[in-house]
Each structure stands twice: as structure tokens, then as C-alpha cells.
Amino acid sequence: MSAILSRAAWEDANMTITFSDDAPVFDGANLTVSFIAAVDGEPVVCVITAEALEDHFGADSPLEDSLLQAFQRGRARIRSVCAEALDQNGGESVVLHSGLFRVEGMEPDRGLKV
């Protein structure tokens, strides 16, 4: 099953980006979690670092269970930032580092006052 997420930035995208609902995969050697996006129907491996999951999604350690739980909590935002990165790099694989979640235009709620 795939999900097409709606986000304003995607309206200008030159490609169709969808995400599989398959479980993400922990990579202990690189301290990352990988997941699959489809760009115009072609699978693309995307990765988020443990640091990003700790800094932005509440992972309390780089251990597998903590990172996977953080990924689940942040899935929508992770997909949103990933789709923006995919659109910007022409649909190539991306590595989502912590700093990317602070970049202007990558944050769905950036600039809004609460």
C-alpha cells in the first residue's frame, strides 16, 4: 500500500512521489533507518540518521527500538521533508540529516506563530 501525502510544496513538484507503508529498516552499522519512496513509480531508498531521529522525533538513544518508534511518531513530517528533498535533487536517494529539518522551506510549520 502506498500513501500520497498532500503538502503545499508538492504542488509544484515535477514528479509524483509516494511512500510505501512497509516497515522502515534499521541499519545498526550506520545508525540510520531506511524507507522506500517511489518517484514516478520507481523505488528510491531514503535514509534518516539516528541524530535526526533523536533531535527532532524523540528517540532517547541510537538503539533500534528507540529509533523505529521515533520514526513512527514522525513519519508524516519525515515523509514531507523527504519529498521536498527528492523534488530538489531530481528524485535521487536522500539522507535526511538533523540539520535538514531546520532548513527554510523544509519545515511544514516553519514561520507559523502559535
In a domain, 57, yes or no: yes
Residue 110 lies in a domain: no
pLDDT, tens only, 61-111: 999 999 999 999 999 999 999 999 999 999 999 999 999 988 766 655 444
Domain harbouring 47, CATH code: 3.30.160.140
What residues make up the domain containing 9?
A: 2-102
pTM: 0.81
Q: How many structural domains comprise the chain?
A: 1
- What average pLDDT is seen over the chain? 85
In a domain, 111, yes or no: no
Tell me, yes or no, whether 26 lies in a domain: yes
Is 109 a member of any domain?
no
Burial 49-69 (b: 16+ CB within 10 A, else e): bbbbbbbbbebeebeeebbbb
Confidence at residue 107, expressed as pLDDT on a 0 to 100 scale: 52
Instruction: List, in sequence order, every beta strand (DSSP E) within the chain.
Output: 2-3, 17-20, 25-27, 32-39, 42-49, 94-96
